[in-house]
């Protein structure tokens, strides 16, 4: 049983073919699904995760499939094999390829081995074969073999196909939005379980286990490795072996991938002992103000790049009020001072991937053709800069971080001197950590709405009353 109806997949592929023909393409579109990634022997593989673009256009959630769409006559062909006697021993009887093709609405099907000849024939007759850059290395090698091109050419993919796929997958349909809402509701549960367990003396990993159990018992799994850290200023902090100490801020950034494979991604930051110190409250409220400001600006026509800059301005205004920076806020934004405290982008697209389609190229996905990625810290890491359209699903996740290594590096090089109060940072904030607050947001025709039926508590008073009541 596929996630969507047969008609949905048929319509998506027809729309893709029409978009490609509209820009003058008449070759063969080649899709390769993911294969099993074996940990050791053939029968000992990591859990299978299908390629997301394959899922979007064909829905069949199993390894080893490929398909072509012939743009000259509209013929679609699935390449797959009926289960062999040997495979039958390991995986049992499986539906025949004919019924899989029927489920996906593909009329023609051939054995997998036929693909080489079909592609060789197309190339020999001078036809173009369009393909997406694969996210897995096995498929890179497969495409190198099929197309006789270099690894770099495979990694670049076919631009007209990338652009057509991105345009379609960026704008979510009501059916997709309902599935993302479901993933967000389960993500809410995952976060609630985590928040309720936070207290000094508990090992971080014991809480992560309980959160991840929600993801695996109620959904497909986590949409990315759960981030649970008393050092939120360090973004990739994968170990969860520390005991929770009193007086820390804990960044909990976690998401759930539903059985439909649609993702959620939320971040909350909690005081480890349930009550914010005055300093923690002051910085938290700066991050929250930036988060709310970003949401208030999110609507069709607005470039998310400008929303990032507005969030940065709120952060600098707040840091100015507590004496960490000084000067004109607009000038500081222009000088890139905000990047020291927010060294990542405001958000990213979300859908079948938590960072939707970034395997197709971050700039292809997150930037309009007339937008160029900035070279500076923070804004340069912005993954979604586009002018917003109804149906875009994005994250709103500003933060305020005190990364000592980064601060010291700026200080040594004289960056931000006259703007940044380095001695105050050293005296008061070097053991602070970081704060991030993240919700998932749908752009609507008139503005935006947060995804999921319930919003995770986010104000200081709501968090304190929940944590202190336990
Ligand atoms: N929540 C993880 C990320 O956005 O990178
Ligand atoms: Mn995120």
Is residue 330, in this structure, part of any structural domain at all?
A: yes
**What is the CB < 6 Å shell around ligand 1?**
224, 253, 265, 348
Is residue 390, in this structure, part of any structural domain at all?
A: yes
Please indicate, yes or no, whether residues 178 and 165 belong to a single structural domain of this protein.
no
Q: How many domains does the chain divide into?
A: 2
Q: Are 401 and 435 in contact (CB under 8 A)?
A: yes
**What's the mean pLDDT in 20-39?**
97
Query: How does 405-442 read in b/e, with b if 16+ C-beta sit within 10 Å?
Result: ebbeebbeeebbeebbbeeebeeebeebbbbbbbbbbb
Q: Using the mean position of ligand 1's atoms as its centre, give its distance from the Cα of residue 256 in Å.
A: 12
Please indicate, yes or no, whether residues 244 and 257 belong to a single structural domain of this protein.
yes
The CA distance from 353 to 58, in Å, is: 16
pLDDT value for 237: 80
Please indicate, yes or no, whether residues 147 and 182 belong to a single structural domain of this protein.
no
Q: Strands 108-110 and 76-79, how do they pair?
A: parallel
pLDDT value for 41: 81
To test ligand 1's pocket by mutation, which of 223, 229, 253 has the most ligand atoms within 8 angstroms of CB?
253
Give the end of a domain, one of 152, 170, 188: 170
State the ligand closest to the CA atom of 396. Answer: 2
The CATH number of residue 406's host domain is 3.90.230.10
Give the end of a domain, one of 122, 152, 170: 170
Is residue 178, in this structure, part of any structural domain at all?
A: yes
Which residues, including other chains, have CB under 8 Å from residue 237's CB and lie 6 or more apart? 227, 229, 231
Please indicate, yes or no, whether residues 207 and 345 belong to a single structural domain of this protein.
yes
Residue 437 lies in domain = 174-468
Above pLDDT 70, what percent of the chain? Answer: 100
The CA distance from 146 to 151, in Å, is: 12
Please indicate, yes or no, whether residues 338 and 317 belong to a single structural domain of this protein.
yes
Is residue 1, in this structure, part of any structural domain at all?
A: no
Which residue's C-alpha comes closest to atom 5 of ligand 1? 355
**What's the mean pLDDT in 202-211?**
98
State the ligand closest to the CA atom of 344. Answer: 1
Q: Using the mean position of ligand 2's atoms as its centre, give its distance from the Cα of residue 147 in Å.
A: 35
Q: Using the mean position of ligand 1's atoms as its centre, give its distance from the Cα of residue 461 in Å.
A: 26
Per-residue DSSP letters for 10-69? Answer: HHHHHHHHHHHHHTT--SEEEEE-----BSSSTT-BPPP---HHHHHHH---SSS-EEEE
Ligand 2 (ion): residues with CB under 5 Å are 265, 395
281-314 pLDDT, tens digit each: 999 999 999 999 999 999 999 999 999 999 999 9
The CA distance from 5 to 9, in Å, is: 7
Q: Are 219 and 256 in contact (CB under 8 A)?
A: yes
Please indicate, yes or no, whether residues 161 and 207 belong to a single structural domain of this protein.
no
Number of other CB atoms surrounding residue 251 within 10 Å: 27
Q: Using the mean position of ligand 2's atoms as its centre, give its distance from the Cα of residue 80 in Å.
A: 35
pLDDT value for 181: 98
**What's the mean pLDDT in 137-143?**
97
Please indicate, yes or no, whether residues 224 and 367 belong to a single structural domain of this protein.
yes
Give me the helices (H) in 171-253, please.
174-197, 204-218
Three-state secondary-structure class, residue 186:
helix
Q: Using the mean position of ligand 2's atoms as its centre, give its distance from the Cα of residue 357 in Å.
A: 14
Burial of 221 (0-12, 13-18, 19+ CB in 10 A): middle
Please indicate, yes or no, whether residues 190 and 164 belong to a single structural domain of this protein.
no
φ and ψ at residue 200, rounded to 5 degrees = -60, 145
**What's the mean pLDDT in 315-320?**
98
The CATH number of residue 148's host domain is 3.40.350.10
240-266 pLDDT, tens digit each: 999 999 999 999 999 999 999 999 999
φ and ψ at residue 256, rounded to 5 degrees = -120, 135
Please indicate, yes or no, whether residues 253 and 341 belong to a single structural domain of this protein.
yes
Which residues, including other chains, have CB under 8 Å from residue 443's CB and lie 6 or more apart? 298, 299, 300, 388, 389, 390, 391, 392, 393, 394
Three-state secondary-structure class, residue 120:
helix
390-437 pLDDT, tens digit each: 999 999 999 999 999 999 999 999 999 999 999 999 999 999 999 999
The CA distance from 394 to 356, in Å, is: 9
Terminal CA-CA length for the chain:
43
To test ligand 1's pocket by mutation, which of 223, 235, 263, 265 has the most ligand atoms within 8 angstroms of CB?
265
To test ligand 1's pocket by mutation, which of 234, 291, 354, 401 has the most ligand atoms within 8 angstroms of CB?
354
Q: Using the mean position of ligand 2's atoms as its centre, give its distance from the Cα of residue 88 in Å.
A: 41
**What's the mean pLDDT in 28-53?**
93
Atom index in ligand 1 nearest the CA of residue 255 equals 1
Please indicate, yes or no, whether residues 350 and 204 belong to a single structural domain of this protein.
yes
Please indicate, yes or no, whether residues 104 and 238 belong to a single structural domain of this protein.
no
Please indicate, yes or no, whether residues 159 and 250 belong to a single structural domain of this protein.
no
């Amino acid at each position: 049983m596929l996630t969507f109806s047969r008609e949905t997949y048929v319509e998506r592929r027809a729309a893709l073919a029409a978009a490609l023909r509209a820009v003058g393409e008449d070759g063969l579109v080649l899709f390769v699904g993911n294969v099993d990634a074996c940990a050791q022997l053939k029968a000992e593989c990591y859990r299978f995760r299908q390629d997301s673009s394959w899922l979007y256009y064909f829905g069949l959630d199993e390894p080893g499939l490929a398909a072509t769409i012939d743009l000259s006559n509209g013929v679609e062909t699935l390449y797959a094999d009926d289960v062999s006697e040997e495979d039958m021993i390991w995986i049992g009887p499986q539906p025949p390829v004919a019924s899989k093709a029927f489920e996906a609405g593909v009329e023609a099907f051939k054995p997998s081995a036929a693909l080489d000849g079909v592609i060789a024939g197309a190339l020999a007759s001078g036809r173009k074969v369009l393909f997406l850059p694969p996210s897995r290395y096995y498929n890179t090698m497969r495409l190198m073999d099929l197309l006789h091109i270099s690894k770099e050419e495979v990694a670049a993919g076919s631009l007209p196909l990338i652009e057509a796929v991105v345009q379609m997958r960026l704008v979510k349909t009501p059916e997709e939005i309902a599935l993302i809402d479901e993933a967000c509701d389960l993500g809410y549960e995952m976060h609630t379980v985590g928040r309720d367990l936070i207290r000094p003396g508990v090992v971080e990993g014991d809480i992560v286990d309980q959160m991840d159990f929600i993801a695996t018992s109620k959904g497909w799994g986590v949409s990315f490795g759960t981030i649970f850290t008393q050092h939120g200023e360090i973004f990739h902090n994968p170990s969860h072996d520390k005991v929770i100490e009193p007086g820390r801020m804990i960044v909990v950034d976690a998401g759930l991938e539903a059985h439909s494979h649609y993702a959620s991604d939320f971040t909350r930051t909690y005081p480890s002992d349930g009550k914010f110190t005055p300093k923690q409250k002051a910085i938290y409220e700066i991050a929250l103000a930036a988060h709310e400001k970003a949401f208030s600006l999110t609507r069709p026509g607005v470039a998310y790049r400008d929303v990032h800059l507005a969030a940065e301005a709120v952060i600098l205004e707040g840091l100015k009020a507590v004496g960490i920076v000084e000067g004109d806020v607009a000038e500081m934004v222009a000088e890139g001072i905000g990047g020291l405290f927010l060294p990542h982008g405001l958000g990213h697209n979300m859908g079948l991937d938590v960072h939707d389609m970034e395997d197709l190229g971050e700039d292809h996905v997150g930037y309009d053709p007339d937008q160029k990625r900035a070279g500076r810290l923070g804004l340069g890491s912005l993954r979604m800069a586009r002018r917003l359209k109804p149906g875009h699903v994005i994250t709103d996740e500003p933060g305020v971080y005190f990364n000592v290594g980064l601060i010291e590096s700026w200080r040594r090089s004289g960056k931000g001197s006259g703007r940044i109060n380095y001695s105050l940072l050293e005296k008061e904030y070097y053991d602070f950590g970081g704060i991030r607050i993240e919700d998932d947001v749908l752009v609507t025709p008139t503005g935006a709405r947060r995804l999921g039926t319930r919003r995770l508590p986010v104000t200081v008073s709501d968090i304190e009353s929940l944590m202190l009541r336990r």
